[in-house]
């Protein structure tokens, strides 16, 4: 592991930061720093301090001091970027600017469904705020923890489940501190009296928000977000097709349904490993403690549940009439070209009925209805903007013990890489990505957990999870080798990730081409002449 | 009028450009330059030459030569930016880089509905291309000429009529020549083998496209666009409400209908002057040659047609079932809170029937059905992506003679300013903008033509046209005074324009604030160290 850079001015800088923020807001004890440098894969322990500013003015002061002492600062919202590096640094030294104390919800407009949030606002906090304030809007949440930052995910261009799944598309202006200490408001927000700052995304003149998304070009201290109007009705659907060979027509059918507006939200298409792992923990006994998991065990389990080779779920949002029309069109289109072995549309009423009769139904069908309903409830909630803890235990997939009541994948040695390549929304491209993932995982001894998300009318994002146990000696290196080969193979085939972990930043730079690296390098120099803001994050 | 800047190296630069492009592609005769410096309002005649490169390589050469001789270049797609300055310069000297010869359509993907176009591709060209190649997708067009550039409008963030009305939102990557001559491809396009460049908007790392929209930061030489899937059915609607006092509940109802997804496209809300001018030419006889137009004449005319104080039109796109559900919801919502005096839903079948029986129907109703149907046909077409010449004659509103068969507002002295402030989609804000426009226009002796466009779930863009006759001595100055006061008053009230003409760039700079001007200035310096790309366009 590479050595941490030592900065001559570090002690003086720490003094200055303490003077600016208060002693409690500057964390520099080695134990905490080591703990907070851990991620879900091997990272270098290179963080010199964690600064926790309370407001934008303090953020500016932190950046000024960093400039003065030439010490890099890495902004982080709540630090829960699991699978992508958590809050570890991509570089060999610097301090983390942890923005979790800036957790105010500002400027809620109930008529327009817009809200301004600081980086520390969590999914649960905002969802509960909306529920308590009129219950007119839903948040689009991710499957990650309720304690994750809304703003952080949005500027990292994460996505969720509803018609507002593309988080960056549903932002309307940022407040940013750039590397030279300037406090900038973008879009119409640059005019103090602008009425439409939250209502209109682009402003006038160049649109600058994109610069501060997936970058180290600024510290985003507030963002204006659009919220989904709560629909009159909601229906969750889950469908499964029997044959693996029908993946291509399935993806093509989903494209047609999205293009025709029958489906308007994200759809998640899961392979058998993904479905199995969502319902069961690793069957250590059946596997005699061995890995990787035998696909026949998975197959046998899913056969009992009537689940086929590919399963997908999504939500329908709208008036009762709109949903009725959509259901009819979806049923017809899927049945026309696919061997559908399961198709369920579940409204709130139907879910309540299932809950009520799960006893007799379970005995009748011999299905583990309790477990199935618990999972369905979580998905049902997520697709209505209610964040859940239910997905986090899946990061313990390869651990011998089940997840504790307070899961923390970084602390507990849960190994996890996300690799999320984007493809055109075409059957042939989906197949090509699946083939690469299956081949690479099999060779390295891991199970490919695939959740291919239809994120728009045109794009498919194959969210691939690589789970392992960091406590097994050598496993960090084996998993990293698998991940790196996977990413390279996918990029060789033209499938680039929508987002990257700290371990892959140099791989990105190497492929970005001279024109991109030159232009982005010039912009970085212009906004951050000392190069102290998050060097190495989405370089140059 | 300010004097044109003289460049010492101009003759040598012209020689170099001629050597690079061929003599025919460098226009420098004073007559043509004077003609092409004319706009629909007073402009300085400051263009030294017009360069017409044939390809991206030649664009790069043009920029290199401009840098060498330190002469500004102003990229223009087809030069039809009427109402915003046409192809005149915002500065006091420089050459126009006219990209109309670069008119190739590249990379049409019939499955995804994506296309790559050069700046010279016109609305008609692309629409005809789509119709001839499977007729599976529609273009979202503006009401301007069929000969306008698709790319130019998109990077200027223009909007149209369909669910794809927000043109910049429906782009997925650009090819750009920056001021230092770099040829940059954005989004996933920076990776040569990327499969999803046209399918996914954001790419990985910072999203840079916004920099090249409404800016002089680069010459966009190609753009990837998303096309609207042709729906199973289409219905045009037009509605009118009786009382001016119901503007507020009307706008609020439209917001609710958009938020609920019953309306998914742009809706254009017109005031009586706008409706009248769309159907009639200026009634010079009735007005005894006077201006401005007497509102009573307008009122009397609209009363005969059963048209009230505010009228709006839009389109419903989808399956027959989806449209049926939407019609029902729209009818119910509007009737619930508004005094609706006209509500028509017109499908292709119904329009054909009206055409067939217009003779007897016209005699029966005593309405000018020929004229009404001609206008309806044009709107019907526009909302299905068919560009039309039918709107251009409206620029001759204040001229004594009707538009010639080959209308050219720049040549014919048609006076026109567009001023298009954005507001939150709320009744009270709509009212505030209308009050300002009415008051300022009345005082200056012009008719406010208002088309308030619902461009999204949250934003209203009040597209205000100021028409006048440039051939009347003093009218240029009177119209400019009206326009400038209008813009200032709107901005004072918090309503900033979504786009600006060349005459207002300094007004924008003055209000943008130190942080914005500093940051954008630094970026400009980074990408264009010699400051030769379109200085003064959306400054700094």
User: Which chain B residue shows the shortest CA-CA distance from A461?
Assistant: B200
- The candidate with the shortest Cα–Cα distance to B515, out of A538, A221, A30, is A221
- The candidate with the shortest Cα–Cα distance to B421, out of B485, B498, B482, is B498
Length of chain A (residues): 540
β-pairing, B94-98 vs B73-76, is parallel
8 Å CB contact of A496 and B210: no
Q: A2: pLDDT confidence band, cut at 50, 70 and 90?
A: low
| Predicted pLDDT of residue B368 | 81
ipTM of the complex: 0.97
8 Å CB contact of A207 and B205: no
User: Which chain A residue shows the shortest CA-CA distance from B519?
Assistant: A527
Token pair of B57, please? 């390589």
Which of the 8 DSSP states describes residue B166?
A: B
Angle at A217 between CA A213 and CA A223, to 5 degrees: 45
| Nearest chain A CA: its distance from B400 CA (Å) | 36
| Predicted pLDDT of residue A476 | 98
Radius of gyration of chain A (CA): 23
8 Å CB contact of A458 and B199: yes
Token pair of A382, please? 């997520």
Distance CA B105, CA A487 (A): 33
Summarised one tens digit per residue, pLDDT across range B237-271 is: 999 999 999 999 999 999 999 999 999 999 999 99
Cβ-Cβ contacts under 8 Å for A12 (sequence gap 6 or more):
A69
8 Å CB contact of B205 and A199: no
Distance CA B203, CA B191 (A): 10
The dihedral of CA B297, B301, B306, B312: what is its sign? negative
8 Å CB contact of A204 and B229: no
- Report CA-CA distances (Å) from B445 to A164, A238, B274, B435, B441: 46, 63, 16, 15, 6
8 Å CB contact of B229 and A538: no
Q: Is the pLDDT of residue A500 over 80?
A: yes
Which of the 8 DSSP states describes residue B210?
A: G
Mutate to test the interface with B, among A171, A204, A329, A498 (most CBs of B within 10 A): A204
Token pair of A340, please? 């559908």
Question: What strands, in cross-sheet order, belong to the sheet with A114-117?
Answer: A105-109, A114-117, A218-226, A171-178, A183-185
- The candidate with the shortest Cα–Cα distance to A151, out of A106, A203, A91, is A106
Report chain B residues whose CB lies below 8 A from the CB of A183: 515
Q: What percent of chain A has pLDDT over 90?
A: 93
User: Which chain B residue shows the shortest CA-CA distance from A202?
Assistant: B498
8 Å CB contact of B322 and A319: no
CA atoms in the 13 A half-sphere facing the CB of A531 = 9
| Nearest chain B CA: its distance from A446 CA (Å) | 26
A425: phi then psi, degrees, rounded to nearest 5: -80, 75
Summarised one tens digit per residue, pLDDT across range B488-529 is: 999 999 999 999 999 999 999 999 999 999 999 999 999 999
3-state SS assignment for residue B459: strand
**Mean pLDDT, residues A68-76 taken together:** 98
Peptide bond between residue B292 and the one before it cis (omega within 30 degrees of 0): yes
Q: B1: pLDDT confidence band, cut at 50, 70 and 90?
A: very low
Q: Are A326 and A318 in contact (CB under 8 A)?
A: yes
Summarised one tens digit per residue, pLDDT across range A416-428 is: 999 999 999 999 9
Q: Which of B168, B319, B429 has its CB closest to that of A260?
A: B319
| Predicted pLDDT of residue A376 | 85
Compute the count of residue pairs across chains A and B with CB atoms less than 8 Å apart.
292
8 Å CB contact of B513 and A195: no
Distance CA A11, CA B284 (A): 82
Cβ-Cβ contacts under 8 Å for A332 (sequence gap 6 or more):
none
**Mean pLDDT, residues B434-438 taken together:** 98
Report chain A residues whose CB lies below 8 A from the CB of B495: 195-196
Q: Is the pLDDT of residue B121 over 70?
A: yes
| Predicted pLDDT of residue B491 | 98
User: Which chain B residue shows the shortest CA-CA distance from A424?
Assistant: B196
| Nearest chain A CA: its distance from B70 CA (Å) | 21
Q: B2: pLDDT confidence band, cut at 50, 70 and 90?
A: low
| Nearest chain A CA: its distance from B321 CA (Å) | 6
Burial (0-12, 13-18, 19+ Cβ within 10 Å), A54: middle
Task: Give, for A436, the enclosing helix (H) or strand (E).
Answer: helix A427-444
Report chain B residues whose CB lies below 8 A from the CB of A209: 207, 210
Mutate to test the interface with B, among A424, A497, A511, A538 (most CBs of B within 10 A): A424
Distance CA B456, CA A328 (A): 28
User: Which chain B residue shows the shortest CA-CA distance from A320?
Assistant: B325
8 Å CB contact of B205 and A494: no
Token pair of B142, please? 């503006």
| Predicted pLDDT of residue B457 | 98
8 Å CB contact of A512 and B191: yes
B509: phi then psi, degrees, rounded to nearest 5: -55, -40
Q: Is the pLDDT of residue A395 over 50?
A: yes
Give the Cβ contact number of residue A82 at 10 Å.
23
- Report CA-CA distances (Å) from B188 to A422, A516, B197, B203, B327: 10, 11, 5, 4, 40
Report chain B residues whose CB lies below 8 A from the CB of A259: 113, 229
Q: B372: pLDDT confidence band, cut at 50, 70 and 90?
A: confident
| Nearest chain A CA: its distance from B183 CA (Å) | 6
A431, β-bridge pairs: none
**Residue ranges in B466-513 assigned as alpha helix (H):** 475-492, 505-511
User: Which chain B residue shows the shortest CA-CA distance from A192?
Assistant: B494
Summarised one tens digit per residue, pLDDT across range A29-71 is: 999 999 999 999 999 999 999 999 999 999 999 999 999 999 9
Q: Are B190 and B411 in contact (CB under 8 A)?
A: no
Report chain B residues whose CB lies below 8 A from the CB of A329: 319, 321
Cβ-Cβ contacts under 8 Å for A330 (sequence gap 6 or more):
A237, A257, A262, A263
Q: Which of A192, A515, A525 has its CB closest to that of B183?
A: A515
**Mean pLDDT, residues B465-480 taken together:** 98
**Ramachandran bin of B413, using left for φ above 0, alpha for ψ from -120 to 50, beta for the remaining angles:** left
3-state SS assignment for residue B426: coil
User: Which chain B residue shows the shortest CA-CA distance from A172?
Assistant: B458
Q: Are B180 and B527 in contact (CB under 8 A)?
A: yes
Summarised one tens digit per residue, pLDDT across range B60-114 is: 999 999 999 999 999 999 999 999 999 999 988 999 999 999 999 999 999 999 9
CA dihedral A225, A231, A235, A236 (to 10 degrees): 10
8 Å CB contact of A217 and B208: no
**Mean pLDDT, residues A96-103 taken together:** 98
8 Å CB contact of A498 and B183: no
Which of the 8 DSSP states describes residue B285?
A: T
Burial (0-12, 13-18, 19+ Cβ within 10 Å), B2: exposed
8 Å CB contact of A210 and B226: no
Mutate to test the interface with A, among B195, B198, B528, B540 (most CBs of A within 10 A): B195
b (16+ CB within 10 A) / e for A9-29: ebeebbebbbebbeeebbbbe
Report chain A residues whose CB lies below 8 A from the CB of B203: 496
Model-wide pTM > 0.90:
yes
Mutate to test the interface with B, among A496, A497, A509, A514 (most CBs of B within 10 A): A496
| Predicted pLDDT of residue B420 | 98
Q: Is the pLDDT of residue B173 over 90?
A: yes
Task: Give, for A433, the enclosing helix (H) or strand (E).
Answer: helix A427-444
**Mean pLDDT, residues B121-132 taken together:** 98
User: Which chain B residue shows the shortest CA-CA distance from A321?
Assistant: B325
The dihedral of CA B398, B403, B407, B413: what is its sign? negative
Report chain A residues whose CB lies below 8 A from the CB of B217: 206
CA dihedral A292, A295, A299, A300 (to 10 degrees): -70
8 Å CB contact of B200 and A113: no
Least confident span in A323-337, B347-361, B453-467: B347-361
Report chain A residues whose CB lies below 8 A from the CB of B190: 512-513, 515-516
Q: Which of A208, A497, A523 has its CB closest to that of B204?
A: A497
Q: A145: pLDDT confidence band, cut at 50, 70 and 90?
A: very high
> Over chain B, what is the mean pLDDT?
96
**Mean pLDDT, residues B14-24 taken together:** 98
| Nearest chain A CA: its distance from B332 CA (Å) | 13
């Amino acid at each position: 592991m590479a050595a941490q850079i030592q900065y001559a001015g570090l002690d003086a800088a720490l003094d200055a930061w303490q003077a600016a923020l208060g002693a409690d807001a500057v964390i520099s004890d080695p134990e905490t720093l080591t703990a907070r440098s851990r991620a879900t894969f091997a990272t270098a322990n290179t963080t010199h301090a964690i600064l926790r500013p309370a407001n934008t003015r303090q953020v500016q002061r932190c950046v000024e001091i960093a400039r003065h002492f030439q010490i890099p600062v890495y902004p982080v919202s709540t630090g829960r970027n699991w699978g992508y590096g958590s809050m570890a640094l991509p570089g060999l030294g610097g301090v983390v600017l942890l923005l979790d104390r800036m957790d105010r919800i500002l400027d809620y407009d109930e008529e327009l469904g817009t809200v301004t949030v600081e980086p520390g606002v969590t999914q649960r906090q905002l969802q509960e705020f909306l529920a308590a304030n009129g219950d007119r809007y839903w948040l689009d949440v991710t499957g990650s923890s309720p304690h994750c930052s809304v703003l952080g995910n949005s500027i990292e261009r994460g996505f969720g489940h509803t018609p507002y799944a593309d988080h960056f598309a549903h932002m309307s202006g940022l407040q940013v501190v750039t590397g030279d200490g300037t406090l900038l408001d973008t879009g119409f927000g640059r005019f103090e009296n602008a009425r439409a700052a939250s209502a209109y995304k682009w402003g006038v003149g160049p649109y600058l928000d994109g610069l501060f998304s997936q970058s180290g070009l600024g510290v985003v201290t507030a963002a204006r977000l659009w919220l989904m109007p709560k629909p009159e009705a909601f229906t969750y659907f889950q469908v499964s097709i029997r044959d693996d060979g029908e993946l291509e027509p399935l993806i093509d059918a989903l494209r047609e349904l999205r293009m025709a507006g029958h489906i308007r939200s994200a759809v998640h298409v899961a392979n058998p490993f993904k479905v199995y792992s969502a319902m069961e923990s690793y069957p250590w006994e059946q596997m005699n403690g061995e890995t990787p998991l035998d696909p026949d065990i998975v197959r046998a389990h899913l056969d009992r549940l009537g689940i086929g080779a590919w399963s997908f779920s999504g939500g329908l949002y709208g008036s009762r009439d709109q949903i009725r029309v959509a259901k009819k069109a979806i049923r017809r289109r899927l049945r026309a070209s696919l061997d559908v072995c399961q198709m369920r549309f579940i409204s709130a009423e139907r879910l309540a009925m299932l809950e009520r009769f799960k006893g007799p139904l379970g005995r009748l069908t011999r299905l583990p209805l309790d477990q199935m309903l618990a999972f369905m409830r979580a998905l049902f909630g997520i697709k209505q903007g209610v964040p859940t803890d239910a997905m986090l235990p899946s990061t313990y997939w390869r651990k011998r013990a089940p997840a504790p009541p307070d899961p923390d994948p970084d602390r507990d040695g849960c190994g996890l890489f996300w690799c999320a390549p984007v493809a055109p929304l075409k059957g042939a491209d989906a197949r090509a990505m699946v083939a690469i993932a299956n081949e690479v995982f099999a060779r390295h001894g891991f199970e490919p957990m695939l959740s291919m998300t239809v994120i728009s009318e045109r794009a498919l994002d194959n969210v691939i999870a690589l789970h392992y146990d960091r406590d097994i000696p050598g496993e960090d290196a084996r998993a990293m080798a698998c991940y790196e080969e996977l990413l390279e193979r996918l990029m060789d085939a033209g499938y680039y990730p929508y987002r990257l972990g700290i371990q892959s930043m140099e791989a990105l730079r190497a492929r970005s081409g001279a024109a991109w690296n030159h232009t982005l390098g010039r912009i970085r120099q212009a906004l951050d002449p000392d190069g102290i803001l998050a060097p190495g994050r989405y370089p140059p």
